[in-house]
A = this chain, B = another copy of it.
Amino acid sequence: MATSLESSALTKRLTDSGLRPTPQREVVFKVILEKRDHPTADEIFARVKSQMPTISLATVYNCLETLVQNGLVRQVNFDRAPTRYCPNLHEHAHFHDETTGEVHDIDVPAELLAKLRGVLPPGYDASAIELSFRGKAAPETN
């Protein structure tokens, strides 16, 4: 069944990173993978609690830190709003919808990313590029 397959795949991703696949880490990771709406730590905490009511917020923060450090999840920051978490590991940009508060992933062609690096003066070596947009998005066409 799909769920157990997913669960073991998820476990594998943790162990492949050298992480102990604790139930807490698995449920935090699972929640982030399942609903990719860039939740905050609080939102993740709420979702996780419905499956594991005894988990603590500190643990959610610990798991998130571990996942981020191991490159399994990325942090997304905008202004000084609470950090959001994103399981999309491709290099991509973010669009923050002012109207709905939603965050959408935006694909950036590799060619354009290379051009972006090109704006740096000689001697500047960027290990990370962050690109984000703020604005309004047309409602989804259903």
Mark A residues whose CB is within 8 Å of B: 75, 77-80, 83, 93, 95, 98, 104, 106-109, 112, 115-116, 119-138
Contacts and interface: CB of A to CB of B under 8 A. Distances in A.
Main secondary structure of the interface of A (DSSP, over half): strand
B137 A133 contact: no
Contacts of A107: 119
B130 A130 contact: yes
Nearest to A124: B137
A133 B115 contact: no
A120 B106 contact: yes
7 contacts: A79-B83, A93-B119, A104-B124, A112-B116, A124-B136, A125-B135, A126-B134
A133 to B, nearest CB: 4
Contacts of A77: 77-80
A109 B112 CA distance: 13
A126 B133 contact: yes
Contact of A129 (B108, B131, B136): B131
A95 B138 contact: no
A10 to B, nearest CB: 27
